[in-house]
Amino acid sequence: MSSPVNTPMTPGIAADRLPHDTLDDNFSDLHAPLAPHEASVAADRCYFCHDAPCITACPTSIDIPLFIRQISTGTPEAAAKTIFDSNILGGMCARVCPTEELCEQACVREAAEGKPVEIGRLQRHATDRLMAMQGHPYTRAPETGKTVAVVGAGPAGLACAHRLAMQGHAVTLYDALPKPGGLNEYGIAAYKSTDDFAAREAAWLMQIGGITLQNGQRLGAELALDTLADTFDAVFLGVGLGGVNALRVAGEDMGGVTDAVGFIKELRQSQDLARLPIGRDVVVIGGGMTAVDAAVQSKLLGAQNVTIAYRRGRESMGASTYEQDLAAAKGVTLLFNAQPVALHGNGAVREIELEYTADDGTGLKGTGETIRLKADQVFKAIGQTLETDAGLTLAGRKIAVTGPGRTSRAGIWAGGDCASGGDDLTVTAVAEGRDAAMDIHAVLMGSN
């Protein structure tokens, strides 16, 4: 993965654009946690619906009316247990889930008043309370003698490992990176997950016991699927999408042009944001959550002009309307129906040339009309690809799965972003890891 910056070749990129106190404020918690009284007031707005539509809208099927009632009766720890029973990463999901498009959009209060119950913030209130307590709320079943390899310590892998450990299986959790958490640790905006929460959540989750973490182990490099299949009773792959799509335009190899994932990763692991170089004129290519996270954080680091250029219209953006509005509120310009055709500069990018697009009913096409924007830093956020398929059948660019994550090879399951079906959300990955774990358990114990 290329470095986010190449300082000798990119004079427009510089560190120390903003003082530390401004950066601390810019990257503070996007949504402050609810105080107990605020949580009580927010919980009282719930109608506690029978056949609540918010449950159906949640990919992990959390019993939302129940946990909100438990908060309203003064038992947030019980509410957290209700959440964790369905979603062991409920703390992170409370921070990063697009609740405005899932549970809160389905809320009856939203339909009636245009103001839903604050389900996400209430979920965080409960889970934070329980996670702050000593011990772990779950205990392991008796040892089964079965062993499972879980490759990838992102949301799907962590959820799978925890549920398998609960059932009494011995889990070895492999990950290519130095810390567990996957995109929760390395791939989301820093203002969505503050105070090292992703690492703390992973450590809390593994208090269940029965999980051995091995870092620096990448599938296709240090790990071979055949060896894992021969060594363990079952294998779950939650390896995500590590490859980054190319723009395939002239000038892409110039200094200052890199992938947004690498930029966010470096930012998330930075110990001093003031020392992180950022351009004056930043352009982000793409329309998903990664594009928005890269653009907003560029602005928060002190970039003067930040533009998201997306080849389709606003309604087609992968980022939610809320995220689009957040970007605009932070000063990011959203440019629609524009695709890159060339990058210009002398070794380092200085301008990006974009062509306007239109859909004439037969597909998206360039119109021939172009514009140029100043750009000393360009981030590519046009999707990621599977780095290794390990010889499994693919569906498009992902591992083909059926039912609860079964791949084309017996004894191998997959879930999360690397697997076909579903959407690329943390909460969906958790559901897929959890469901695969229960299917693995059933197969190992001979009940399926």
Q: How remote is the C-alpha of 381 from its chain's centroid?
A: 14
29, 200, 43, 329 alpha-carbon torsion, rounded to 10°: 20
393, 397, 400, 401 alpha-carbon torsion, rounded to 10°: 150
Domains and their CATH numbers in the chain: 7-28+246-380 (3.50.50.60), 36-131 (1.10.1060.10), 147-242+386-444 (3.50.50.60)
- Give the residue from 150, 120, 68, 154 showing the smallest Cα distance to 425: 154
Q: What is the pLDDT of residue 95?
A: 97
- Looking at residue 252, its amino acid is E
pTM of the model: 0.95
Give average pLDDT by consecutive 10-residue segment, the chain, 448 residues: 46 93 97 96 96 97 98 97 98 96 96 96 98 96 98 98 98 98 96 96 98 97 97 97 92 95 96 96 97 98 98 95 97 98 96 96 94 97 89 94 97 97 91 98 90
Q: What is the pLDDT of residue 6?
A: 42
Q: What is the pLDDT of residue 351?
A: 97
Q: What is the pLDDT of residue 8?
A: 40
Please state, in angstroms and rounded to a whole number, the distance separating the CA atoms of residues 114 and 110: 4
Q: What is the pLDDT of residue 340?
A: 98
- Give the residue from 399, 392, 391, 415 showing the smallest Cα distance to 161: 415
Q: What is the pLDDT of residue 361?
A: 86
- Give the residue from 307, 276, 273, 277 showing the smallest Cα distance to 291: 307
Tokens of 120: 């996400």
Please state, in angstroms and rounded to a whole number, the distance separating the CA atoms of residues 419 and 241: 9
